[in-house]
Structure 1
Amino acid sequence: MEFTAGSAQVVVCGHCNTVVARSGDTFEDHGKIGRIVPTDSPLQVGAEGRFQRKGYRIVGHLQKDHGAGPWDEWYVEFDDGRTGWISESEGAFHLLFDAGLEEGLTLEELHPGERLHLRDKAWVIEERGHGKVVSAEGQLPSDVDPTQDAWYVDATGPKGSFLTLDFGTRGHDPEVFLGEALKLEQLGIPAGQLRPRVRKVELKQARCTNCNGPLELRAPDKSLRVACPYCGALLDVSQGKLSFLRLLQKPANAPLVPLGTKGKLDGTEWICIGYLERSTTVEGVRYPWSEYLLYNRERGFTWLMHSNGHWNFLKPLPAGDVSLSPMVAAFHDDRRYKAFQHVTAVTDRVQGEFYWEVRAGETAKATEYVAPPYSVNSDATPDEISFTHAEYLKPDVVKEAFKLKDPLPEPSGIAPNQPNPHKQALRSTLVWTALWLLGLFLLSGFFAMRATNKVVLEQPVVVPPEAFSGTPTAMNFSEPFLLEKRGNMKVEVATGQLNNTWMGIQGDLVNQDTGAVVGFYEELSYYSGQDSDGSWSEGSTSGSSTLSALPPGRYVLRTTASFDPAVSGPRSYKVTLTHDTPNGGWFCCAFILILLGPAWVLFRSHGFETQRWAESNFVD
């Protein structure tokens, strides 16, 4: 036995798997432990690497199991004396360093999905689990007891930071391990020191233990469960061989993306290895959807989801990368996702291979937050929460990616994160509307600058006291005036002698050259008084109107006054004629017509969103 790592207190014999502990100058035999089970891990004891310019060596190896197959943890010692652990989970690596004990923290108060503030950082708890050490090799910092079931809590923070709380067999005061998630190449281990990937070749071509049907496993090194497509048997693969668990109900419909089909999404070639039918029931109505498990040897697992002809491509998302206001909104990558629905999702049927202990009837609390065409989704159980980031895909994209021959179902209804097709049209319409309005204002300004806006007549008129309303006795003629060019005419009539009475002015512009007559009428009135609410008044002592364009020529204004004969007193008024004024009528019509386009598109866009959110079970 040789202790080469200065931090090692235990070494596992490479010949007989005896655990030997040192205590000062003496050594103790602590019994035997199981041999390491070959896994898909590329790491091995003795491999050397560099992290942040510091060299290290893998000196020990633990395998733990909670009943669903082992996972690997590697003990490393750096050249500067630091020690740490590299843990693996579904193809991801986490390098962790001991940060001491956290006193006063208990296992019972930690739940998946909750935020935890620890060591000056905010974390999101992803998993609470337990496991036993079932095998070991190399040198380790402390004793191992395969009879002890140890508890742990995993949490993630922003930018790949990772936290493990190791409670051991206690329920309080855990050991804290801090680190970050890394890719294999970031571990800095030369390719020549990596172990060749183990492949369970005997499982690639196997037969169902229930119906003897041929099974082709696409990811035998990663799969824990296989559902036979012939008889529906659920088989366990965790021990390196197939063992019957139970008989499941076969999916009613064949998967739209057949198992074993390869397709390219997000620049990566995936193979479809699993198929789930899930559903939720709301107010007695069942809403089903399908999920396809995709696998790539380098990138691991991801999902393709189908519901009512709509497709979504989902990528695993660390919980620490999501800032969550539960049931209100999620924030990820500087984007706000609004809460859309929260349901209990039930796994109804399964087919193919899966990397966890899948079973029909298992439930999870599923919550979806949307920011079309994306969404953030969480699936939570009492002991674990997982997040995914989804992107909406059109059926043609899926069909082309997997080279499917049969047509895919047409989309029905509106998906939670389906892009609003009218939003892009609205943006384009608003841009064109802004350009048209700019042109309209420029044109209006051009016409205003060209307008003469000349006062051609100011005619004060005093109605004779003996005149009768609306008769020639109340008529008045102006002096002739000249219009030098064609243009409109603004007429303004005002009087300052109205008190609880009215006056109407009938005007006629008479072209002395042609005899043509253009008329107008302005009625003025003003009434006032007092009632229980106080003083009041209504009406106006002035009015105006604009006549259409008049041809050039000599004109005379003829006015006839109408009034209430029962009201005595002096009567007078003034008529002002302004020729070739800026006319806003055409501008208002053009302005309204231009706004009709964006108003229609906005109406359609709003209708689309209204229809989308009618399916949400969150109320603003």
Structure 2
Amino acid sequence: MTQGACPSCGASVEFTAGSAQVVVCGHCQTVVARAGAELEAHGQVARVVETDSPLRLGLEGRINGTSYQLVGHLQKDHGAGPWDEWYVEMSDGRTGWLSESEGAFHLLFDGGVEEGLQLDSLHPGERLRLRNRPLVVEERGHGQVTAAEGQLPSDVDPSEDSWYVDATGPRGLFVSLDFGSRDRDPEVFLGQKLELSQLGIPAGDLRPRVRKAQLQQARCTNCNGPLELRAPDQTLRVACPYCGALMDASQGKLKFLKLLQKPELPADIPLGAKGTLDGVEWICIGYQERSCTVEGTRYPWLEYLLYHPARGFTWLMESNGHWVFLKPLAAGDAELVPHVSAHYEGRRYKAFQSVQAVTDAVVGEFYWKVTRGETAQATEYVAPPYSVNEDATDNEVSYTHGEYLSPEQVRDAFKLKETLPPPRGIAPSQPNKRRAALTTTLKWTGVWLLGLFALSAVLHARAMNAQVLDLQVQVSPGAASGTPSAMHFSEPFELARDGNVRAEVTMSTTLDNSWVGVQGDLVNQDTQEVVSFYEEISYYHGRDSDGSWSEGGNHGSVFLSTVPKGTYVLRTTTSFDPAMKFKSNLQGVSYRVLLTHDTPNESWFVIALVLLLVGPVLSFISAHGFETERWKESNLQ
């Protein structure tokens, strides 16, 4: 430890951190630097201003089994409000920075200098590979040191405008590139994002929030309306729900900025409403109306800002009665092929749309300096019911992971009394319930098909399939068509049990542009009951302008429904084309009749199979139509 007197005011100063090169005098704010055994004054720096940070100098914590202490503190500002950076000395000898912004903490360690990287070549959303790690640039900006306290590793220059690039990678990797005044190779700081609870600091040691008491029961500076702020510790902007006044809250009190236009869309979730989503009770602290214009038509939607003290901020979006719950997502956790696809947690998301989103109106509290007219390029990738969403500006890109919710789910979550408006049209990430119905239909169809094949197998196994008659019929050349002279009787045959009969007729006589009809009658010799069938066989051929053609054949068959068992005689009566008797080679009509008893009739199987497939086909057409309607609205496919 080095101890001495401040060269400026003589107050006692000491270096307890071995890596510290300067210390800020707590009395006169002089930056005191080590110069061998001597101490030198390097100018003065402003005192830190009160912020909502729960941290303070001297706090001790433990991360991953290693203890640490906060030994230095910088406040920086890029024009949109200050943020805090804490110099950390670990018990294992390492040093790092704990950066704090908008309630998020990033613990970073020095990774040395990276040569060859150019600030102007790194833009939000751009992907790069650094030290064999895939990264996505999330933010590019600059800021100046406005205040400091405690021990620091290097000198402090409040006049220097320092440029930085923040990027994220897989599994929570966070990288910050410090380019200084733009003209140098960047210093690399590697680390991860942490929640306040992960810092390992006892809750009783954390500093109370400083703005809470002042802002919790504030009033609008324009209309004096009561404003019950739900997240005063995090709020930077407040939009009055009564008069539309936009106020700054960054200094612990409200300051009027300007009047804003009120939202055109009615809000279904009131400010202050509490709802449970993702197992957490959120409170609605604000909402904004955003819109895009496509081919001259404006399409508006509402985004509700939800807050939880431990989880921070998230969003619930409503458009045309469709709801999407949006959770922050580190850009590095999603793999993106811009305007083509995204991959996240093993799921592929197809690019759906990319539009310029404009903030038209705001109401309530916001954690950034929101204003009317803000624009961002919003791109959506969908894998219903989920989505990956990218909002990109010139200096920053943010990602969210969305999950589609039905109006009933939102109503139940927030215990709303009124029924929410029904959805209109099809949303990009809306689940295709018809596809789910198709899946169910296919499953049940599979079950019924198994049953159908099993039944067919049983019937085939039980069928006798017995040939009971093989009859050759010869009609004399002088017989007249359809008359008793063309009639023929078989020998008696036996049908052993009730069952169907298949009759097959095969021509022995060659047909040439002619036909033959066979009337068959099965006559029961005991009851004289008759079961009849008729089968006509024809064959025609010729030539026309399209070439040769032919139709028909020399074979035909017919099934007879259940025929009672008994002794039968087959009587056949032959009809034929009258023109056949003029052919010189006619020797009479000859054909063969084959009767098979109790044979499986496949026609019922075919009919049942067709009926079973009707449901899946109609379900597929319906599901496909839903997707067709969805993707008609896409401007990236």
Residue 414 of structure 1 is matched in structure 2 by 426
Once residues 143 and 279 of structure 1 are traced to their aligned partners in structure 2, the CA distance between those partners, rounded to angstroms, is: 47
Segment of structure 1 superposing worse, 1-10 or 457-466:
457-466
Q: Which amino acid aligns with 1:424?
A: A
Once residues 19 and 589 of structure 1 are traced to their aligned partners in structure 2, the CA distance between those partners, rounded to angstroms, is: 93
Once residues 242 and 62 of structure 2 are traced to their aligned partners in structure 1, the CA distance between those partners, rounded to angstroms, is: 49
**Over the residues paired in the alignment, what is the CA RMSD in angstroms?**
2.4
Percent of pairs identical after alignment?
A: 65
Matched, 1:219 2:231: yes
* Native 8 Å contact 1:502 1:523 kept in 2: no
Equivalent residue in structure 2 for 1:594, among 594, 612, 616: 612
Residue 613 of structure 1 is matched in structure 2 by 631
Matched, 1:457 2:469: yes
Matched, 1:21 2:39: no
SS at match of 1:125: strand
Equivalent residue in structure 2 for 1:553, among 560, 566, 577: 566
Deviations 1:216-256 (A, max 9, x none): 32222211111122322211122333222222112245532
Q: Which amino acid aligns with 2:65?
A: R
Segment of structure 1 superposing worse, 377-386 or 267-276:
267-276
Alpha-carbon deviation of 1:345?
0.9
* Native 8 Å contact 2:519 2:533 kept in 1: yes
Matched, 1:540 2:567: no
* Native 8 Å contact 1:47 1:58 kept in 2: yes
Residue 397 of structure 1 is matched in structure 2 by 409
Equivalent residue in structure 1 for 2:21, among 6, 9, 12: 9
Alpha-carbon deviation of 1:145?
1.0
Alpha-carbon deviation of 1:611?
2.7
Deviations 1:395-426 (A, max 9, x none): 23323333333432232222222223333333
Equivalent residue in structure 2 for 1:562, among 576, 582, 593: 576
Once residues 218 and 539 of structure 1 are traced to their aligned partners in structure 2, the CA distance between those partners, rounded to angstroms, is: 86
Segment of structure 1 superposing worse, 421-430 or 236-245:
421-430
Once residues 170 and 281 of structure 1 are traced to their aligned partners in structure 2, the CA distance between those partners, rounded to angstroms, is: 37
Once residues 208 and 60 of structure 1 are traced to their aligned partners in structure 2, the CA distance between those partners, rounded to angstroms, is: 37
Matched, 1:486 2:498: yes
* Native 8 Å contact 1:490 1:579 kept in 2: yes
Residue 516 of structure 1 is matched in structure 2 by 529
Alpha-carbon deviation of 1:496?
5.0
Residue 358 of structure 2 is matched in structure 1 by 346
Residue 207 of structure 2 is matched in structure 1 by 195
Q: Which amino acid aligns with 1:31?
A: G
Q: 1:556 to 1:144 in 2, by over 3 A?
A: same
Residue 304 of structure 1 is matched in structure 2 by 316
Residue 454 of structure 2 is matched in structure 1 by 442
* Native 8 Å contact 1:504 1:521 kept in 2: no
Once residues 573 and 18 of structure 1 are traced to their aligned partners in structure 2, the CA distance between those partners, rounded to angstroms, is: 122
Aligned residues: 619
What TM-score do you get using the length of structure 1 for normalisation?
0.94
Q: 1:254 to 1:547 in 2, by over 3 A?
A: closer
Structure 2: runs of 5+ lacking an equivalent: 1-12
Deviations 1:483-535 (A, max 9, x none): 12221111112235426444424131231333333333333345678999998
Alpha-carbon deviation of 1:315?
1.0
Equivalent residue in structure 2 for 1:321, among 314, 319, 333: 333
Once residues 521 and 565 of structure 2 are traced to their aligned partners in structure 1, the CA distance between those partners, rounded to angstroms, is: 12
Once residues 491 and 257 of structure 1 are traced to their aligned partners in structure 2, the CA distance between those partners, rounded to angstroms, is: 75
Matched, 1:330 2:342: yes
Q: 1:357 to 1:232 in 2, by over 3 A?
A: same
Deviations 1:40-65 (A, max 9, x none): 22222222233333332222111111
Alignment of 1:360-379 (within 5 A): 360-379=372-391
Deviations 1:419-458 (A, max 9, x none): 2333333333333222222222222222222211100011
Q: Which amino acid aligns with 2:576?
A: S
Structure 1: runs of 5+ lacking an equivalent: none
Q: 1:542 to 1:243 in 2, by over 3 A?
A: same
Matched, 1:119 2:163: no
Q: 1:328 to 1:534 in 2, by over 3 A?
A: same
Deviations 1:80-134 (A, max 9, x none): 3221111123222211111111111111111111211111111111111111111
Once residues 492 and 514 of structure 2 are traced to their aligned partners in structure 1, the CA distance between those partners, rounded to angstroms, is: 29
Once residues 75 and 509 of structure 2 are traced to their aligned partners in structure 1, the CA distance between those partners, rounded to angstroms, is: 105
Equivalent residue in structure 1 for 2:261, among 244, 249, 254: 249
What TM-score do you get using the length of structure 2 for normalisation?
0.91
